[in-house]
Amino acid sequence: MEEKEISQAVIGRLPRYFRYLSELKYAGIERVSSQELSDIMKVTASQIRQDFNNFGGFGQQGYGYNVEFLHNEIGKILGLDRTHHLIIIGAGNLGQALANYVNFERRGFLFRGLFDNNSELHGKKIWGIEVQPMENMEVFVKENNIDIAVLTIPKTEAVTVAEQLVEYGIKGIWNFAHVDLNVPENIQVENVHLSDSLMKLSYNISRFESDNTK
């Protein structure tokens, strides 16, 4: 496939395409047109065609897309054709909730370890995974082919822990701490702010109310 810079907006839409295609695939649907995808996803058909053209286009005009092929191709682009091995740092409320959410496994994200600096949590099992002391982290990361670390620790701790993880060879960080991490360019960071989504919801409620009181 031709290598070119794909915009973050397009990349941001790929997981959604992938999810809808998963549903179509599991419903036994074999073909879908861009118009049908557009109706389900509430994205214009031309937007869908433009997005797919970034990857050489996946379908044939007038014939629609083969659901399984498109699902597999988008999965490959998203790197979901391989298994990722994750550890969670911070076994508090959020860390435990993530460890308990089994559906990540279906997409090939395997939670392998859970670490915390609170000795009272050590040995506790969350979804079969034992919470370990931070001192075990280096060897664990190296011996278990861990490529992603999930940071669910306070922001005051996150920068230092991220630096350690980089040193141990981690490739990506799923960062829930509300702080910008200082990591080299070859380390991928995805910051998650649930509150951003909530603020967007709040904005939409306000906009809807003001539009309907005019």
Of 34 and 175, CB closest to ligand NAI: 175
- The answer to whether 95 is a known ligand-binding residue is yes
Nearest to 192 by CA among 147, 152, 146: 152
**Interface with ligand NAI, residue 94, by CB under 6 A:** yes
Question: Which residue from 157, 159, 187, 189 is in contact with ligand NAI, where contact means CB under 6 A?
Answer: 157
String marking each residue 108-127 x if it binds ligand NAI according to CB under 6 A:
--------xxx---------
CB of 101 to ligand NAI, least distance (A): 14
Nearest to 192 by CA among 95, 127, 67, 115: 95
To ligand NAI, the closest distance from the beta carbon of 122 in angstroms equals 10
Structure tokens at 60: 């044939």
Residue of the chain from 49, 85, 122, 155 that contacts ligand NAI (CB under 6 A): 155
Whichever of 112 and 155 has its CB closer to ligand NAI, that residue is 155
Q: What's 211's DSSP letter?
A: H
Alpha helices in the chain (DSSP H): 8-26, 34-41, 45-53, 67-77, 93-100, 103-106, 137-143, 155-168, 194-212
Q: How far is the CB of 153 from ligand NAI (least distance, A)?
A: 4
**Is 92 assigned to a binding site?**
yes
State the residue number with the nearest CB to ligand NAI. 92
Residue span binding ligand NAI (CB under 6 A) among the ranges 51-59, 74-82, 84-92, 122-130 = 84-92
Is 91 marked as a binding-site residue?
yes
Strand partners for 150 = 88, 174
* Cα angle for residues 167, 191, 111 (degrees, 5° grid): 65
- In the DSSP assignment, the letter for residue 64 is B
Q: Establish whether 94 is an annotated binding residue.
A: yes
Instruction: Tell whether residue 182 is among the known ligand binding residues.
Output: no
Is residue 90 a contact point for ligand NAI (CB under 6 A)? yes
The Cα 85–Cα 33 span in angstroms is 35
- SS3 (DSSP) at 149: strand
150 near 87, Cβ under 8 Å?
A: yes
Return the number of the residue (34 or 152) whose C-beta is nearest ligand NAI: 152
Contacting positions for ligand NAI (CB under 6 A): 89-95, 116-118, 134, 152-155, 157, 161, 176-178, 192-195
